[in-house]
Amino acid sequence: MAGRFIEVEHLGKVYEAAAPGTPAALQGVSLGIDQGEFVAVMGPSGSGKSTFMNVVGLLDSPTSGAYRLNGKDVSGLTTDELAHVRNRVFGFVFQGFNLLKRISAAENVALPMVYSGAPGAERRRRSLELLAKVGLAPYADAMPNRLSGGQQQRVAIARALANHPQLILADEPTGNLDTQTSMEIMDFFTALNRETGVTILLVTHENDIAQYAGRLIRFKDGHVVHDGPVAHEKAAE
């Protein structure tokens, strides 16, 4: 039987640098995520959200438990295979946008395609296509510091989409944005999820932002304390 898209089992993480007696950052997390889901991850500061995202994003490895991606145990992947998955299967969006300041919006969007070896003309073509998709066609040759925060985050989203990822990992993507801009970004994620079926895993502190997701996973002290459909505020009880 084919496995789920993402499946973690009894995932544990103890940081080597942690002070003695500190509880483990992840303590036996088991869950699955299917292709096409839009999942919000919430929980207080220090509850393990970032650790979980880093493990799922293959930016860090767990100290115990199993992680299967498309049915394959990732602990068997080589460094090159891990880099390949991070570049081709995942797209990352961060709170601080993380754009390179000295290159244009289009060049930022093209970066993942440089690493994946696409020819220059193709990179340019796709960058422009992606910037148009996020509503920034006129800003292709603008430097990031000429763009507003919301525009910079749109560039970062276009960059995350460059290699047709199966999963978008977004860590507080609206954390630095005002309410109106946050709503626009979340509407974009929602449409993207519905139209392309890309899976989205999004960390947020805000209930209003989690409302856009279909499923909510809540962490506390390294445990999952809630996992279920988002209770939409307008839905009948």
Least separation in angstroms between residue 185's CB and ligand ADP is: 20
How many residues touch ligand ADP under the rule CB under 6 A: the total is: 12
Q: Which two tokens stand for residue 19?
A: 């002070």
User: Nearer Cβ to ligand ADP, position 13 or 126?
Assistant: 13
User: Nearer Cβ to ligand ADP, position 94 or 115?
Assistant: 94
Binding of residue 62 to ligand ADP (CB under 6 A):
no
Of residues 11, 42, 51, 74, which one binds ligand ADP by CB under 6 A? 51
Q: Which helix H or strand E contains 193, and what residues bound it?
A: helix 179-196
Q: Which helix H or strand E contains 180, and what residues bound it?
A: helix 179-196
Window 2 to 41, contacts with ligand ADP (CB under 6 A):
15, 17-18, 25
Strands 6-13 and 26-33: antiparallel
For tokens 């996973």, what's the residue?
217
Q: How many CA atoms lie less than 13 Å away from 84 in the CB half-sphere?
A: 6
Least separation in angstroms between residue 44's CB and ligand ADP is: 7
Least separation in angstroms between residue 7's CB and ligand ADP is: 20
CA distance 2 to 117: 30
Least separation in angstroms between residue 49's CB and ligand ADP is: 3
Binding of residue 225 to ligand ADP (CB under 6 A):
no
Q: What angle do CA 191, 94, 177 make, to 5 degrees?
A: 70
Contact set with ligand ADP (CB under 6 A): 15, 17-18, 25, 43, 45-51
